[in-house]
Chain A
């Protein structure tokens, strides 16, 4: 008989690897899916970040608050893991760019523009046009069907702020819906 997430998390906090394995199996696909779309990277990179997120969840599972959904807590960890990874990667790129050529700071912006121009999918556009926070808010709302209170936990923002973030994200995406290539459904 499958146990609910809170029970499994409590057992895992007591050192039960089997319970954590069940949770990891249950949420592997949503976490990898979110990280892959957020990062816009290859599957292998997204899996590495997801793996790190699960390991962090295991280390800190005693801190899980069962008032919120386990998936919400897991998405929060995954998002922060990706943010850390993105910051580290940005620092590396900045150092490498500074070494290679001092006046090429606009290369990154150009790359984003090209990505947006070639985008054929709405999430691809969202990744180029929206901030990470707006992207995550949209994802949690429309893909994971999270209520506003749970999105607020993931973003570490008040519910009112989440409403504003979602409103802005939708406003910024709407123009692209009309112009998007391959929009035929």
Chain B
């Protein structure tokens, strides 16, 4: 069997013979060059592609160079821009998470009169109020509102005096303290 296979391989009708036959037949039927087809192709070529217009023979066209540059560098740049956008969105919750801490720190301010007058006391600085960034006008308004409320509460002794005065007026001299 093995010998037959070897003979078949060496014979003109084996695989090598088949290959030779295929080559010979193909070469016999090889067509001739067609000038008409060549001209037909070239007639359609210059108008077929926009970047070929105005291009000088032998010189690279700028449009094609731009196209290649866009393909080479545009795609990585686009991917990088997308990565930056994703990174920004991923990092966004972190400053947002600091907002409750800022609000809690602001509530500490009313403990001293200096804090109301000066806006931020040294104690408040120790608590990190200075380090908290102002994210937007809304937060600034909240801080201002809290400061006003704190100032109002600090005036409470004055209100108490008025209340005592009114009580003295209503109750008469016997009721006065």
Contact = CB atoms under 8 A, between A and B. Distances in A.
A21 B42 contact: yes
Contact of A29 (B22, B32, B41, B45): B32
A67 interface: no
Interface string A1-41: 00000000011011111111100110011001100110000
A14 B49 contact: no
A70 interface: no
B142 interface: no
Contacts of A29: 30-33
Contact of A51 (B32, B37, B58, B60): B37
B34 A28 contact: yes
A78 to B, nearest CB: 13
Interface in A150-185: 170, 173-174, 177-178, 183, 185
Contacts, number: 126
Contacts of A143: 22-23, 26-27
Interface string B1-45: 000000000000111011101111111011111100110111011
A91 interface: no
Interface residues of A, number: 44
Interface stretch (B62-70, B108-116, B132-140): B62-70
A47 interface: yes
Interface string A123-141: 1001000000000001101
Given A15-B55, A177-B17, A121 B25 contact: yes
22 contacts: A14-B59, A15-B51, A15-B59, A16-B61, A17-B45, A17-B46, A21-B42, A21-B45, A28-B34, A29-B33, A51-B40, A121-B29, A123-B22, A123-B29, A126-B22, A139-B26, A142-B26, A143-B22, A143-B26, A170-B15, A174-B14, A174-B15
Interface of B: 13-15, 17-19, 21-27, 29-34, 37-38, 40-42, 44-46, 48-49, 51-52, 55-61, 63-65, 67-68, 71
Closest 6 pairs (CB-CB, A-B): A14-B60, A15-B61, A15-B55, A18-B57, A143-B26, A142-B22
